[in-house]
Amino acid sequence: MLVFAVETSCDETSVCIMDDNKKIYSHIIFSQEVHQKFGGVVPELASRAHLEIIQKITKKAFQEANIKPKEVDVYAATCGPGLIGGLLVGSTFTKSLAIGLNKPFMPINHLEAHLLSTSFNNEIVFPHISLLVTGGHTQIYLLKSYNNILLLGETVDDAVGEAFDKVAKLLGLSYPGGKQLEQKAKNGNSEIYDLPQPMVNKNNSNFSFSGIKTAVNLLCKKNELNEKFVENISASFQKCIANILYTKLENTILQLRKKKFNILSFSLVGGVANNDYIKLIISKLQNTQKINMIIPKKEMMSDNAAMIAWACIKKFDRKLIDINFKADPRLKV
Ligand code: ZN
């Protein structure tokens, strides 16, 4: 089965051609730079940027793959959640190709695609826990099987990626600042600032991060924003976030084990899984809880169309083929 997939839910325009033997013929990720000067993603600009580039990279992907559009068996696109303008561009474009070529169209849930991304390069043993950390979501899921996925908890305010970008902005780093903050943290002392860890001791799987940002803001007002301060606060902030994620995930594993779920493995997915420090702290659960950690392939961590193609292959079912599926900005797993 040959799949052509499109991802346009936020500020990455991406297309991928993949077959069910996991062969990736072409995978293009175009990161929009138009948002940099605004310090965050501007939805209207994102939609326009998707519209400008999608046709070009689709043509390029077919050329690179040396495949003709009519050879594709299924067309798939992210249909939510995400920014509605981008979702409409990607899904309508892909549906049009499917209609024109008389091929099936499969709508894909972006979050589900993140959750399934680890199964491309790993064997998932069920029941399985997944911590999804991105710029828009911070959630813990229980996967009983590929078709039985349960949301256990999520952030009540900011997502982790969002908190990173907002704190980076307070520290004067340019957008998107999460990556730069990680670099600054490498030279900083994480013991200098003791930042709050909201909800960490609550007996549930929910998170809250906006209070940490407020605490950083107060410290920024009291201190001079010099290099040393930026490095130390970056290190302290990153440590605080990693500790919250670690504690919440550990607590969730313990709670599930009490309920007789034999959890043997967990995954860390989404763009924030690229953060080496967070990955290192979370990986400690392998020893403390005797549990195996799996992560997606590097190119399938941040938003990308390979995970959309893979989700299509993994979930393919004639019943799910739906040309009338409407893009939904709040689509749930
Ligand atoms: Zn995402």
Q: What is the CATH number of the domain that holds 176?
A: 3.30.420.40
For residues 17 and 43, state if they share a domain. yes
Please give the tally of structural domains in the chain: 2
Give 110 Cα–ligand 1 centroid separation in angstroms. Answer: 6
Give 112 Cα–ligand 1 centroid separation in angstroms. Answer: 10
Provide the percentage of residues in the chain whose pLDDT is more than 70: 100
331 within domain boundaries: no
Bridge partners, residue 7, by sequence: 14
The yes-or-no verdict on residue 117 having pLDDT over 90 is yes
The yes-or-no verdict on residue 297 having pLDDT over 90 is yes
For residues 279 and 203, state if they share a domain. yes
CB 166 within 8 A of CB 159: no
The yes-or-no verdict on residue 299 having pLDDT over 90 is yes
Give 114 Cα–ligand 1 centroid separation in angstroms. Answer: 7
Give 8 Cα–ligand 1 centroid separation in angstroms. Answer: 10
Give 303 Cα–ligand 1 centroid separation in angstroms. Answer: 5
What's the rounded mean pLDDT across residues 95-107?
97
332 within domain boundaries: no
For residues 65 and 161, state if they share a domain. no
- The token duo for 309 is 């193609």
Which pLDDT belongs to residue 319?
Answer: 82
What's the rounded mean pLDDT across residues 5-31?
97
Q: Which residues contact 190 (CB under 8 A, 6 or more apart)?
A: 232, 235, 236, 238, 239
Give 185 Cα–ligand 1 centroid separation in angstroms. Answer: 24
pLDDT in tens, 27-84: 999 999 999 888 889 999 999 999 999 999 999 999 999 999 999 999 999 999 999 9
Domain range enclosing 148? 124-295
Give 271 Cα–ligand 1 centroid separation in angstroms. Answer: 7
Nearest-5° Cα angle at 184, 178 to 188:
130
Which pLDDT belongs to residue 318?
Answer: 82
Give 280 Cα–ligand 1 centroid separation in angstroms. Answer: 21
The SS3 of residue 138 is strand
Which pLDDT belongs to residue 175?
Answer: 85
The yes-or-no verdict on residue 176 having pLDDT over 90 is no
For residues 128 and 220, state if they share a domain. yes
E strands, the chain, where? 2-7, 12-19, 24-31, 74-80, 105-109, 128-133, 138-145, 148-154, 265-269, 292-294
Give 228 Cα–ligand 1 centroid separation in angstroms. Answer: 32
Give 152 Cα–ligand 1 centroid separation in angstroms. Answer: 18
Provide the percentage of residues in the chain whose pLDDT is more than 90: 94
Which pLDDT belongs to residue 39?
Answer: 83
| β 265-269/138-145 pair status | unpaired
What's the rounded mean pLDDT across residues 199-212?
94
Give 111 Cα–ligand 1 centroid separation in angstroms. Answer: 7
The yes-or-no verdict on residue 174 having pLDDT over 90 is no
Mean pLDDT is lowest, of 4-18, 201-215, 312-326, for 312-326
Give 225 Cα–ligand 1 centroid separation in angstroms. Answer: 32
Which pLDDT belongs to residue 40?
Answer: 86
pTM, two decimals, is 0.95
Query: What is the distance between the alpha carbons of residues 83 and 44, in angstroms, rounded to a whole number?
Result: 9
CB 31 within 8 A of CB 12: yes
The yes-or-no verdict on residue 17 having pLDDT over 90 is yes
Query: What is the distance between the alpha carbons of residues 283 and 308, in angstroms, rounded to a whole number?
Result: 26
333 within domain boundaries: no
329 within domain boundaries: no
For residues 278 and 130, state if they share a domain. yes
267 within domain boundaries: yes
Give 67 Cα–ligand 1 centroid separation in angstroms. Answer: 27
Mean pLDDT of the chain, nearest integer: 96
Kindly indicate the confidence band of residue 151, based on its pLDDT and cuts at 50, 70 and 90.
very high
Give 256 Cα–ligand 1 centroid separation in angstroms. Answer: 26
Give 176 Cα–ligand 1 centroid separation in angstroms. Answer: 15
Query: What is the distance between the alpha carbons of residues 245 and 39, in angstroms, rounded to a whole number?
Result: 26
